[in-house]
Amino acid sequence: MILFPAIDLKNGQCVRLEQGDMARATVFNLDPAAQAKSFAAQGFQYLHVVDLDGAFAGKPMNAQAVESMLKVVSMPVQLGGGIRDLATVEAWLSKGIARVIIGTAAVRDPALVKEAAKSFPGRVAVGLDARDGKVAVEGWAESSQVTALEIAQRFEDAGVAAIIFTDIARDGLLKGINWDATIALAEAISIPVIASGGLASIEDVKAMLSPHAQKLEGAIAGRALYDGRLDPAEALALIGAARAA
């Protein structure tokens, strides 16, 4: 079970949004590389990064910030935002990204996900961001008419490494993760699922470690870490104890 600290990039800075709204961004660190180093020093083992500008533009927009992070941390980094074609997938993986996350293109161009997952086994994840059960695309600016489960099922035999499932209504608001919807998705598919959106406190970490959540690969923590509501040492100690047991 992995707790992924999140770095969301906007204009080269480390920010957190509320419900995916770019107008409701709080800047937490002007130096993403320093933030990545801080998470590494705290003992985290896997970093989750999103190029927010890229998600809206449909192409990488914060490459310099991402590359600066890759230079200063040795832990694996998964990256989403603006990855819409195979050339971009290849470029990021060649630069040292451990796993790319395909979101909008998973809805619009499922063949891309299948081709990428086949070409790069274990290194392609799908990001499914749901609002009222329906998946949103283009940096959450548009809603589709398909459910997260419908899209996830398209990739059951494609070799996708993970599904990152975000409840947009909770994202950045510290309301707690939507465990019911996340676990229901995990139980309906064979692909590992990562919970995202709203992780608020150590209670969410305990929920992630509960027996009925055991199909999950982990959860993503953002604002709760930046706000100090989640103590990294306490969270990682809990996860370590659960692994040892």
Residues designated as active site? 8, 129
Distance of CA 99 to the CA centre of its chain: 11
- 2-30 core/surface letters (b: 16 or more CB in 10 A; e: else): bbbbbbbbbebbbbbbebbeeeebeebee
d(CA 216, CA 149): 15
| Whether the Cβ atoms of residue 128 and residue 115 lie closer than 8 Å to each other | no
The answer to whether 144 and 114 have CB atoms below 8 angstroms apart is no
Beta bridge partners of 130: 135, 167
No. of H helices and E strands in the chain? Answer: 11, 12
Decide: 225 and 10 in contact? Cβ < 8 Å.
no
Give the list of residues 6+ apart from residue 89 with CB closer than 8 angstroms, or none.
Answer: 83, 100, 102, 116, 119, 120, 124
Report strand pairing: 13-18 vs 21-29.
antiparallel
Q: Return d(Cα 164, Cα 131) in angstroms, integer.
A: 14
